[in-house]
Amino acid sequence: MKLADNKATLSFSNGAPSVELPVYQGNIGPDVIDIRKLYGQSGMFTYDPGFLSTAACQSAITYIDGDKGELLYRGYPIEQLAKNCNFLETCYLLLYGELPNESQKADFENRVTQHTMVNEQMQFFLRGFRRDAHPMAVLTGLVGGMSAFYHDSTDINNPEHREIAAIRLIAKMPTLVAMAYKYGIGAPYMYPKNDLSYAGNFMRMMFGNPCEEYKVNPVVEKALDRIFILHADHEQNASTSTVRLCGSSGTNPFAAISAGVACLWGPAHGGANEACLNMLEHIQANGGIAKVGEFMEQVKDKNSGVKLMGFGHRVYKNYDPRAKLMQETCNEILAELGLEKDPLFALAKQLEKIALEDDYFVQRKLYPNVDFYSGIVQRAIGIPVKLFTGIFALARTVGWIAQLNEQMADPEYKIGRPRQLFTGSVARDVKPLNQR
């Protein structure tokens, strides 16, 4: 961190002494006021529900400028990475800070490919779940359970252990997601195939069967790879902060990533694209495209309780840069699979048209976000809605690991311990039972 020339001065209207606070500068983005010594100097904490104005760490991985609609992985614009790199190159970048050269790329892809198998006992672990269990419930258990199988990579304070765990998690997540899907539908598991790409291998494990050879559709393969890249990391969001907080206690990497999976499950976070498809299916079941205009009018009415899912973003106050890329992919997939006239997708396109043209939505910058398009793409490919968040977890795993590794290597890191503004009862005595 670079110390700024200026300092912040906190003054109090009750006559208490002012407090001087250091200011640090990042390479880009807002400066931060260092409040670490605030409590010792003033006896007060800061109050910031949701941590909307608090930087809990310093990071060199991902930068977001919500006003400009900009997303950078290690300084590279997401648009360039999605068009010029594959997912495993992006993984290498997030983990090690630079894009790989040819030999580094080949070596990294080989290391990941050699770890795609999971311990055979994992399938018996799966059998403990009900067949109709939500895939995210299954994944939370499976990812956390990996620490019971891979004892040589559970010391989060050991860089070599973290390195091994990183490769294993990136490699095995597609296998686990596919196994959770196959288990839910009662189909046989498909072992990984090492001569396929990362996305192609996942497609085969998902949709292939032992009775016949599976042929990877290159358009679908490219679409999945792009989905993985666009979801690989997103700065200090809820699940990433959960992984960092969990890891700060010294727990093993698999447990920390499992905590991230659990947090991602929430409909306000990773479950947003699932919520978006559920919304589309609800509109379709209640009149379809003919009722889109009526639905959008309900959205405008604050008293209706109707929410428009897949539009707008908490961080991006402009267009989500990932949405532009996903929109291109969405159109390519629908054309490739001949689904342009599918009623649900036609309905989605009508929603998109209204949101991009209606002054109400334009003025509020409620543009379609990445969840809107990725949900449509995944459904078109044949991925069930319940598995959408599992795909998100698969992609985000590398970001969680990169953030976790960065934290553990930071000499300033401490176990997370948020403070509170206590509003409960003051100290009081316990009365005997007959006097209460």
Most confident option among 98-112, 263-277, 353-367: 98-112
Residue 254: predicted pLDDT: 96
Predicted pLDDT at 128: 92
Q: With 0-12 CB in 10 A as exposed, 13-18 as middle and 19+ as buried, what is 318?
A: middle
Q: What is the dihedral of CA 81, 82, 86, 92, to 10 degrees?
A: 40
- 115 part of the active site: no
Q: In which region does residue 310 sit, left (phi positive, over 0), alpha (psi from -120 to 50) or beta (all else)?
A: left
Q: What mean pLDDT is predicted for residues 264-291?
A: 86
Active site residue 313: yes
| Residue 305: predicted pLDDT | 86
The angle that helices 218-230 and 388-408 make with each other, rounded to 10 degrees, is: 40
In a 3-state reduction of DSSP, which class is residue 209? Answer: strand
| 223-241: average pLDDT | 96
Q: For residue 400, what is the enclosing H or E element?
A: helix 388-408
Give the residue among 72, 74, 48 at the shortest CA–CA distance from 60. Answer: 74
Residue 316 has pLDDT above 80, yes or no: no
Query: Average pLDDT for residues 192-213, to the nearest whole number?
Result: 96
- Residue 105, pLDDT > 80, answer yes
**Mean pLDDT value across residues 160-186:** 96
For the record, the structure tokens of 381 come out as 């490919």
Model confidence band, residue 69 (pLDDT cutoffs 50, 70, 90): confident
pLDDT of 319 > 80? The answer is: no
pTM: 0.91
Stretch 186-215: mean pLDDT:
96
- Burial code (b: 16+ CB inside 10 Å, e: under 16) for 151-184 equals eebbebeeeebbbbbbbbbbbbbbbbbbbbbbbb
Is the model's pLDDT at 139 over the cut of 80? yes
Residue 177 has pLDDT above 80, yes or no: yes
Catalytic residue among 225, 233, 320, 371: 371
Where do the domains of the chain lie, and which CATH numbers do they carry?
Answer: 2-55 (2.20.28.60), 59-408 (1.10.580.10)
Q: Give the per-residue pLDDT at 230.
A: 96
Q: Is the pLDDT of residue 321 over 80?
A: yes
Mean pLDDT of all residues in 196-218: 97
pLDDT value of residue 100: 98
pLDDT of residue 106: 97
Burial tier of 203 (Cβ tally within 10 Å: 0-12, 13-18, 19+): buried
- What value does the mean pLDDT take over residues 119-142? 93
Neighbours of 253 (CB within 10 A): 30
- Going by C-alpha positions, the residue among 317, 370, 326 that lies closest to residue 65 is 317
Assign 380 a pLDDT band (cuts: 50, 70, 90). Answer: very high
| Residue 25 CB burial class (10 angstroms; 0-12, 13-18, ≥19) | middle
Mean pLDDT of 232-259: 96
Q: Provide the pLDDT for residue 310.
A: 82
The pLDDT of residue 248 is above 90:
yes
Neighbour count for residue 10 (Cβ, 10 Å): 17
**Res 308: pLDDT:** 86
On average, the pLDDT of the chain sits at: 92
Using CA atoms, how far apart are residues 247 and 414, in angstroms rounded to an integer? 10
**Type of residue found at 403:** Q
Q: What is the pLDDT of residue 221?
A: 97
The pLDDT of residue 58: 93
pLDDT in tens, 412-424: 999 999 999 999 9
Residue 264: the pLDDT is: 94
pLDDT digits (tens, 9 = 90+) for 2-40: 889 899 999 999 989 999 999 999 999 999 999 999 999
At 40-52, the pLDDT tens digits run: 999 999 999 989 8
The whole-number pLDDT of residue 141 equals: 95
Q: What is the pLDDT of residue 261?
A: 97
Q: Which of 161, 233, 313, 320 is an active site residue?
A: 313
Structure confidence at residue 368 as a pLDDT band (50, 70, 90): confident
Two tokens at 6? 């200026």
